[in-house]
Amino acid sequence: MRLLHTLAFVLFFVCSSCAQEEDTLSRSASKSAENYTPQPSLGYTIQHNYFTLSYSSTHRQAEYSYYYLSPESILGGQARTDDFRVDPKVKSNPVKSTDYQGSGYDRGHLCPAADMALNLTAMSETFYMSNMSPMAPSFNRGIWSRLEDWVREEALGNSGLYVVTGPILSSSCGSLKESITVPCAYYKIVFKEGSQPKMLGFVLSNAGASGSLQAFAVSVDEIEKKTGLDFFPQLENTLEQSLESKVSLSGWRF
């Protein structure tokens, strides 16, 4: 009996330690609820465990997806789940997994699955249809994929980055038969805070493209004009203006 009690205690201790370790990793990889969440412009905020989005019922997609990308989240090892499904937090006009069928467009992730390899919950959340936008296959699997790879490399090299991604819904290139807006372009913003903060934005047309990623770099101010969103308003005004008003490739590896 004494042996059984001892074994039970050891088992409890090991399980508790594992749970604490996973909780620590979760906190490290899910700063998305902290600090820099953008204010919605066309939609309303939906907070998931590992990223935040603003869902537009009119356009039937998010106007942004925002999260903190940590090395732990990239290197977690969780396999893709591919469980595309309705987001239960969408209040109206949710998108089903089959709504893109026959459209010729990919169900393009805003928060990439490969950014959320921390655990099963993080990975599975990226397959909510609220995190999808109609992307041309040549774009989604080409230059956009290259940009996503670059962001992960920079997050690893910089010990984490804040990332905001979304469609530019002010310019529509039509819609799917389910009234899902097809954006003409997409943006991505990366921000490294600290003693030497840096920020960089990109805008890419929803079409196949080649060339260097630097060619698509733009100021965050330009993205704000195109989207109507105010990014990183929580920063001190002088710093925000300095970071968002220019295109600085310094400190980024291409």
pLDDT grade for 34, boundaries at 50, 70 and 90: low
DSSP assignment, residue 88? T
Average pLDDT across the chain, whole number: 90
The domain total for the chain is 1
Q: Is this model's pTM higher than 0.85 or not?
A: yes
Q: How far apart are CA 44 and CA 59, in angstroms?
A: 12
Other beta carbons less than 10 A from residue 216's beta carbon = 18
In a domain, residue 233? The reply is yes
In a domain, residue 48? The reply is yes
In a domain, residue 7? The reply is no
What pLDDT digit, counting tens, does each position of 82-141 carry? 999 999 999 999 999 999 999 999 999 999 999 999 999 999 999 999 999 999 999 999
User: Cβ(218)–Cβ(149) under 8 Å?
Assistant: no
Q: How far apart are CA 12 and CA 60, in angstroms?
A: 46
In a domain, residue 93? The reply is yes
Residues in the chain: 254
In a domain, residue 224? The reply is yes
In a domain, residue 138? The reply is yes
In a domain, residue 4? The reply is no
Range of the domain at 33: 23-244
Indicate which residue of 5, 48, 59, 109 is catalytic.
109
CATH number, domain of 154, equals: 3.40.570.10
pLDDT of residue 21: 44
pLDDT of residue 18: 45
Q: Is 59 a catalytic residue?
A: no
What pLDDT digit, counting tens, does each position of 61-92 carry? 999 999 999 999 999 999 999 999 999 999 99
